[in-house]
A and B are shown apart, each in its own frame.
Chain A
Amino acid sequence: MIDRALVDALTQIVGRTHTRTAAAERATYAMDGLTTHTRVPGVVVLPGSRDEVIAIIRLLASHGVPFVPRGAGTGLSGGALASEGAVLIVLTRLNRILTIDPANRFAVVEPGVVNVKLSAAVAPHGLLYAPDPSSQTACTIGGNVAENAGGPHCLKYGATVNNVLALEVVLGDGQVVQLGSPGGEPWGPDLVGLFTGSEGNFGVATRIAVRLLPVPQAVRTLLADFTSLRTAGEAVSAVIASGIVPAALEMMDQSCIGAVEDSVYAAGYPRDAAAVLLTELDGRDETAVQAEAESVDAILKTHGARSVRTAADAGERARLWQGRKKAFGAMGRLSRDLVVQDAVVPRSTLPGVLEAIGEIAARYGLRVSNVFHAGDGNLHPNISFDSRIPGLTERVEAASAEIMAACIAVGGTITGEHGIGLDKLRYMPHIFDGDSLAAMHAVRRVFDPAERVNPGKVIPMHACREWAGIPGVRSVERGMRNGNHSALRTSHSALES
């Protein structure tokens, strides 16, 4: 539990309204989007400014108390959960867009800005922010940075790491550092790239400069349906190999289609299809995009599509996408509990892996629905179940492990965009050896020598080979007692003289 005096000091920083201490209040934060992990934080604080964030972190450093940064809590790996002995710092009140620079196509935002609101804010300038996770109407840019979030359109435009230019970061001891530059060129080693996807283990990003892209003037969205999953998977490979880079290439299987069509998000997907493929082409020029759409149409038909339909207008396109993006929500109709899995395989192995997942589901007697980023080979097998049924949760866990093993066996990995958090810790030794895990741990200790920032996540300590010495850590601690409060600006005095 958190000491009463510390709670009082935290309250002095953020105010009583933004300090949550009652059990019922704290229970609100006991889960993220993956409901199979539960931890109740010792206290929850909701700072309203970066200065409050810095003050909180310095206070916690002086008390040696661990903390966990959290955005909207839409994560799917248990990464933003804090235990009774830790403070949860919820960053959703830091929701200002600080700069929009249309000429140089970048924006600077606070971490609590909701993903979709950034694109809405820059739309009048003919720009957008490309990463679009399915939770984009709720998830925050800060959370996206922590998890290196993806989304359907990162097939063409890259994941979060490809769209973050610079960061202001508060380290675990309260030191503020500026990483990167708004032009995207690292100022030294690429610490922006290293920080992005570090799941809150390296500190808290308080200001984030992101790249903006022109809104494509021409868009074509195609819905293809298939009578077998294997055929659909083969069609994905054919599109990718053609050299055309779709903006998005998404697949849903029959179980997912049924869930969507039974829900308020019904998009008109054919219920009798074994799979549908949603392909989007975009660009500046209508003629060029139309030509690419016709090529993709032909490829899909040649590779077994039963039919291919092009969205007639923006309304139909939005409906097709709503079905895809709300598919996870629609699966709430199938059962009480849902495990959303995340793995990536080489694209050419999709047909075989999808069949293997089907075989595993059948063997365990589980309902698995697949909705995923086929163009990236990024699978999301979703297991629907009722955790109240004795033994079922264990079966789900075992089936999940087999699915992961099947993905690893073909050269894949255990997460493409959801992160390790708590949920995937046990799989890390299957893809990294002891030295590589120990190297990651050593890097974490460079940023957070005391290991107080989001402890217990990402690296399974038992699997790390001993990393003798971890030199440099002490010198890092000595060097971190000054402040720099500029907003993603260079401290000129610190530069070479």
Chain B
Amino acid sequence: MRIAERVRALLGGDAVLEDTGSPDGVPRIAPASPDAVALLLGTARAEGWRVRVEGAGTWMQADAPADLSLTTRRLDRVPSIQPQDLTATAEAGIGCDQLRQQLADHGVWLALDPPGLAGRTLGSVVATASAGPLRHGFGPVRDHLLGVTFVTGDGRLIQSGGRVMKNVAGYDLTRMQAGGFGAFGVIVLVHLRLRALPRVDQTLILEGPREDLSRMGDDISAAGLTLAALELLSPALARRERWALAVRLAGSAPLVAAEEAGLRAATGGLFTALRADEAHAFWMRAGEAFATRPVAFRIGGLPASSDELLDLVQHQVGDEWVSASPGVGTLRWAGDATVDRLRRLRRALAVLEVPLTVERAPWPVRRAVGHFGAYREGVGPLVAGLRSTFDPGNSLAVAIESDG
């Protein structure tokens, strides 16, 4: 019996979205519940099927060699939004745009602006730990998670964390899932830490030569302002003639007013405020651009080395589609890069003790360089142990390590 027929018998006819719709003819399965994901993966383990996981199909290329493709797109419910507690529980397959809207209806906000298209799923954002410019003010993806429920490669449903603001009961497996690229299981449910919608959300922008803006970014960081985002964007990404330094302020009216005054004092009042619709379009387009190139990666350095890292990236792979958070030290790049180029860049960064994480790339590139590349001494066996613990049959088609 073909896999699609087996799955129909197992999960019902509507779980198989198409028999041959994927470019490589792999059946695409859309379980409708966490239990159905567990049933499917348990069966896959028993049958020796290799499974690739996708969300809405808008971020990671769905091209890993596999016997079936598991999409979380039918896991799109939001079982709980608790505005008075600033928490929510959402299934992993909900699109970020839909989630944002539902939260906004309750006056709350998930302070994450991941790269990618608006419909990118929550599970994808968590699995890749893709924070955007708001990381400056609100921290990495893991800081927004209270807990996750995931299904192991052999079909076990595991809860980690909880639904409350603090929780140290047991080991925090949520941290392993955030940025695990699905190597340790399929995320099905996410418990989120929210914030009240900011009363004021203001974006200011300054264009100019990269060197001048970098220096200004350092000055702004040193001033200790309370910013939601401080981002340096390449002209293509900012859709401007020159590089752009963008500042986002979010919070109460007095706070935003004070920080805007502080910003102008620190920079000589050069920034221009965007209208709300302009600001929305500016950030959205910048984020979307990362999904339109075949390769995207992030690197995590130190704030003081932000400019040096930009130089290095420019030298190795160019700087057409790049943004940097000088206050955090992170940098995100998109474009077309060969395996050799990526390896060379990773080596150069390793000398500076800076990790490079491949966020999206065609399978041959992912397989060759891995999301993480090689590990530092002693870490590889730990990750291998965790992988085989949570995916004992090696059912999940994920390339987190380099193959050479």
Contact = CB atoms under 8 A, between A and B. Distances in A.
A401 interface: no
Contacts of B329: 104, 183-184
Nearest to B80: A411
* Chain A at the B interface: SS class: loop
Contacts of A480: 378, 381
A181 B172 CA distance: 19
A50 B68 CA distance: 49
Given A104-B304, A185-B357, A344 B164 contact: yes
Contact of A424 (B169, B377, B384): B169
B158 A243 contact: no
Interface in A412-438: 412-420, 424, 428, 431-433, 435-437
A176 to B, nearest CB: 7
A194 B377 contact: no
B385 interface: yes
Contacts of A412: 162, 164
B30 interface: no
B172 A197 contact: yes
B341 interface: no
Given A194-B175, A494-B377, A243 B390 contact: no
Interface stretch (A132-140, A147-155, A299-307): A147-155
A159 interface: yes
B255 A241 contact: no
Interface in A383-434: 411-420, 424, 428, 431-433
A105 interface: yes
Contacts of B162: 344, 411-413, 431
B9 interface: no
B192 to A, nearest CB: 13
Interface in B136-161: 139-140, 142-143, 152, 156-160
Contacts of B259: 284-285, 288
Interface stretch (B50-58, B117-125, B178-186, B272-280): B178-186
A287 B402 CA distance: 52
B382 A177 contact: yes
Contacts of A469: 392
A446 B353 contact: no
B258 interface: yes
A493 to B, nearest CB: 8
Contact of A161 (B156, B165, B175, B380): B175
B258 A472 contact: no
B166 A416 contact: yes
Interface stretch (A315-323, A363-371, A484-492): A484-492
A198 interface: yes
B389 A442 contact: yes
A291 B158 contact: no
A265 to B, nearest CB: 25
B262 A191 contact: no
Contact of A158 (B143, B180, B346): B143
Nearest to B389: A442
A436 B167 contact: no
A432 B355 contact: no
Contacts of B390: 439
B300 interface: yes
Contacts of A344: 162, 164-167
Interface stretch (A12-20, A29-37, A223-231, A345-353): A345-353
A373 B167 CA distance: 13
A412 B162 CA distance: 8
B84 A194 contact: no
Contacts of B157: 435
Given A184-B140, A191-B379, A439-B156, A417 B180 contact: no
A415 B301 CA distance: 34
Contacts of A62: none
A415 B162 CA distance: 11
Interface in B172-221: 172-176, 178-180, 183-184, 195-199
B183 A479 contact: no
A245 B159 CA distance: 29
A85 B126 CA distance: 43
Interface string B77-112: 000001111110000000000000000000000000
A142 interface: no
9 contacts: A183-B329, A191-B176, A193-B175, A196-B175, A344-B166, A377-B85, A431-B162, A435-B157, A475-B384
Interface of A: 101, 103-106, 126, 147-148, 150, 154, 158-159, 161-162, 171, 175-179, 181-194, 196-198, 201, 214, 237, 240-245, 283-285, 287-288, 291-292, 295, 344-348, 373, 376-378, 411-420, 424, 428, 431-433, 435-437, 439-440, 442-444, 446-447, 458-459, 469-473, 475-476, 478-480, 482, 484, 489-497
Given A444-B171, A482-B377, 5 more contacts: A105-B303, A287-B254, A417-B168, A420-B169, A472-B388
